Amino acid sequence: MRNAGENKTTGTTTDSYVMEIALAGQSKRVTIAIANTGTKDMLVKVTNKHNTGGSIEITEVEDILVTAGSVIRYIETKLASQILVYLKSNLAGNPTTFNLEYVQGSI
C-alpha cells in the first residue's frame, strides 16, 4: 500500500485482492490510471469509505478486467473520505506487473 502523498506506484499482483493505494477523497475529483505492464490479465476493485477511520467500505467497481499490455482509467467524483484501489491476478498462480498513477483535483 502507498500513502496518498505519492502519485504513482508499481508492483506485482497476487492471487487475492491487495490494497495498492488509499487516497483521501473528500471534495476532490480523483483520476486513476492503471497499466498492466505484464503478460497476464489482472482484476481491479475500487471502494470508498465515508469515514476514513470507519470499517464500512462501499464497492464502486469490482472485477474489472485489465488485459496484458492495456491501460484503464477510473474517475471518481463522489464525496468520500477515502478511496481504496485493490488489484489481483485474474487467474491464480499467474501474477502480472502493473503501474498505477493518480491525480487529485477540486471538483
Cα gap 92→23, rounded to integer Å:
28
> Which residue ranges make up each domain of the chain?
8-106
Which of 68, 67, 66 minimizes the C-alpha distance to 32?
66
- 10's CB contacts (< 8 A; 6+ apart) are 37, 97, 98, 99, 100
Length of the chain: 107
- pLDDT band at residue 106 using 50, 70 and 90 as cut-offs: low
* pLDDT band (50, 70, 90) for residue 6: low
Q: Look at the domain 8-106 and name its fold.
A: Jelly Rolls (2.60.120)
DSSP 92: T
Q: Where is 7: in which H helix or E strand?
A: none
pLDDT in tens, 21-61: 888 765 567 889 999 999 999 999 999 887 767 788 889 99
